[in-house]
Amino acid sequence: MCGITGKIYFNGDFVLENDIEKMNQAIIHRGPDDGGVYISADKKVGLGHRRLSIIDLSPLGHQPMSYLERYQIVFNGEIYNFQEKREMLEKDGYVFKSKSDTEVILALYAKFGKECLQHLRGMFAFAIYDQQEQTVFCVRDRIGKKPFKYYLDENVFMFASELKAILTQAEYKKEPDYLAIHHFLTLQYCPAPLTGFKGIKKLEPAHWLLVDLKTKQTEKQCYWKLDYSQKLQLSENQWKKRIMEKLEESIKLRMISDVPIGAFLSGGIDSSAVVALMTKLSKEPVKTFTIGFEEEKYNELEYAKQIANQFKTQHTEFVVKSQAVKILPLLARHFEEPYSDKSALPTYYVSRETHDFVTVALNGDGGDENFAGYQRHSIQKFALWYEKFSLIHKIIILPLARLAALLFKNTFFQRVKWFAKTMADKYNYRYANYICIFSNEAKNKIYNDEFRQKISEINSYGIIAEQFKHSGSKDKLDQTLFADFMTYLPDDLMAKTDIDTMAVSLESRSPFLDHEFLELTAKIPNKFKIKGLSNKKYILKKALEDLIPKNILYRKKMGFGVPIESWLRGELKDYAYKLLLSDKANSRNIFKKEEVERLLDEHCNTKISHAQKLWSLIMLEHWFIAFFD
């Protein structure tokens, strides 16, 4: 696991070694073990690398790495099937100097060109410079586990694992992207290719980008996507067997490491399954790590401890207190894009503490996306069923919901009113409503006139809703899951995991997001994912019944929640008022100060929660302070 950088000139300028060293230094936390720089003979191409040693700890794994005196690569990630591919290549006469997966990528590229990607199973972002063809081949993995950000104009192409490296270069003039901010306020992240910085993009998952130095042209193409149209008609028992076999295979591949390895354990279904199967595959006790809060409502420590005791792991737990928000400026700097998923806070803490014990940690990310495990998935299914009562809804339910929200000023009835109101929307836009932070209506209230003109009232819901038609399936739940895979998963969940772990030089691996496992679960009929209207992740729970206690499998999902609602009414109250109503915040010319104050007052003085809205405003202001003040 590493950090990569690069700079390529199209004009008469030369890349200096100091340019690449500056870029490398900006992301040194991603790879504290080693660093390297390559400058081409004509000084048009510079590549940089920071290394966190996981596989092949010898100097032979050093990057940038050359092959056949023609190719140079900088690579961030892990290829889990590299040993199998190495044996295949050796039979064809290919010779290797190292034991690293990096060299295998180079040999595959030499043999197959762009089609090398079909041979890779893992998480990766890399760039290969072909000296003969004068091209740079840039790639991001299928799910978007590893980041690739870049800047391109008529004179220069620059890329890096984190855009902070690009900010060190004189060619880029820093400017906020207000369209990205507009979308962030709805989604809590910047959707690809946007980053929050005008001109800097992120390469979409499962895409390659080819830069031709001779023609100064670029070509971008998608090389893989999930297909939900090919369902397998297997029995429940057959599905249980197939799921467990593939999940075990995925975990086994991710336990290959030359450094200490452990697992994040929340006490939920997915991480418990990972730990249980790791225990089966390991000769030594598995090291497990969990995070909790003083507030009991958000505390899953007892469930994690139950799993740790059952599988006799070496278990360590940590407790986050509200004082942890003192690190918000640090998090804003690390995330580098506007980002407000509140679970980033405990993920950072558990990553930081875990790094004291291991260098690699497996996680349960992706279980909900595979098996429809989020509350919004069952709400979507219920809404599709409820559509048949549209007349009763319009005449009776909607007026009652509005009246209840008016009489009982609390979050529950606000949500009931919101659900009732969204029934008038088309199902894909309705789903976008379920997951938005600031709705179109709320943004219209809070924006000042100047900012509203900048974004021309562009509808952020379309970023989610337009993905529904690309799933290959007519089933509306399949379309919903596909939309999650194309938006929320890479731009929110994967960004959180990568940034929080790499900020403390820890590698995280996600067995549920193995692309072969994803291809299998896409073939599962949805009657096995949500049973009835609300029994989520049905087939996964059934598959795990002989392994995981039922009180773990069938308890109410908590998620990686954070008690910001109570923090903002207590210890964080004065902090939030001071930050969000400051002259500096007001000078951004985005929000109406009186509307921000109204949100704060209503949250602090009533039972209506605006916690996530306020958290988004707090993190946006910290982003501005970190990069533009």
* Residue-wise pLDDT tens digits, 37-92: 999 999 999 999 997 765 555 555 688 999 998 999 999 999 999 999 999 999 99
Residue 603, phi then psi, degrees to nearest 5: -65, -45
Which secondary structure element, helix H or strand E, spans residue 5, and what is its range? strand 2-9
Residue 336, phi then psi, degrees to nearest 5: 60, -15
Closest C-alpha to 324, from 304, 348, 302: 348
Work out the burial of residue 214: count CB atoms within 10 Å of its CB; fewer than 13 is exposed, 13-18 middle, 19 or more buried: exposed
Q: How confident is the model at residue 276 (pLDDT cuts 50, 70, 90)?
A: very high
Point out the least confidently predicted range of 15-24, 253-262, 315-324, 516-525: 315-324
Angle (CA) 79 80 84, round 5°: 100
List where CATH 3.40.50.620 sits in the chain.
225-434+449-561
Residue 212's pLDDT is 97
Calpha distance 334→164 (Å, rounded): 9
Calpha distance 510→497 (Å, rounded): 10
Angle (CA) 311 314 319, round 5°: 110
Q: How confident is the model at residue 518 (pLDDT cuts 50, 70, 90)?
A: very high
pLDDT in tens, 327-361: 899 999 999 999 999 999 989 999 999 999 999 99
Closest C-alpha to 487, from 227, 190, 224: 190
Residue 80 vs residue 321, higher pLDDT: 80
Q: Are 512 and 363 in contact (CB under 8 A)?
A: no
At 417, which amino acid appears? K
Residue 60's pLDDT is 57
Q: Are 333 and 167 in contact (CB under 8 A)?
A: no
Q: Are 141 and 78 in contact (CB under 8 A)?
A: no
pLDDT in tens, 192-240: 999 999 999 999 999 999 999 999 999 999 999 999 999 999 999 999 9
Say which CATH class 2-222 falls into: alpha beta
Torsion sign (Cα): 138, 144, 149, 152? positive
Point out the least confidently predicted range of 23-32, 48-57, 367-376, 527-536: 48-57
Residue 1's pLDDT is 60
Q: How many helices (H) and strands (E) does the chain have?
A: 30, 17
The encoded tokens of residue 628 equal 């533009």
Domain 225-434+449-561 belongs to what topology? Rossmann fold (3.40.50)
C-alpha distance from residue 88 to each of 85, 91, 95, 104 (Å):
5, 5, 11, 10
pTM (predicted TM-score): 0.93
Residue 56's pLDDT is 52
Catalytic residues: 2
List where CATH 3.60.20.10 sits in the chain.
2-222
Q: Are 206 and 223 in contact (CB under 8 A)?
A: yes
Q: Are 211 and 138 in contact (CB under 8 A)?
A: yes
- 371-378 mean pLDDT: 93
Residue 243's pLDDT is 98
At 434, which amino acid appears? Y
Residue 560's pLDDT is 62
Calpha distance 469→428 (Å, rounded): 9
pLDDT in tens, 566-605: 889 988 899 999 999 999 999 999 999 999 999 999 999 9
The encoded tokens of residue 525 equal 């009929």
Residue 184's pLDDT is 98
Residue 621's pLDDT is 98
Point out the least confidently predicted range of 131-135, 159-163, 288-292, 615-619: 288-292
- 455-465 mean pLDDT: 89
In sequence order, the 6+-apart residues with CB closer than 8 A to the CB of 524 are 231, 232, 239, 371, 539
* pLDDT at residue 95 greater than cutoff 70: yes
Residue 550's pLDDT is 92
Residue 52 vs residue 18, higher pLDDT: 18
CA 587 to chain centre: 31
Calpha distance 167→20 (Å, rounded): 12
Calpha distance 152→201 (Å, rounded): 9
* pLDDT at residue 362 greater than cutoff 60: yes
CA 393 to chain centre: 37
Question: CA torsion angle for 506, 511, 512, 517 (degrees, to 10)?
Answer: 150
The overall average pLDDT reported for the chain is 92
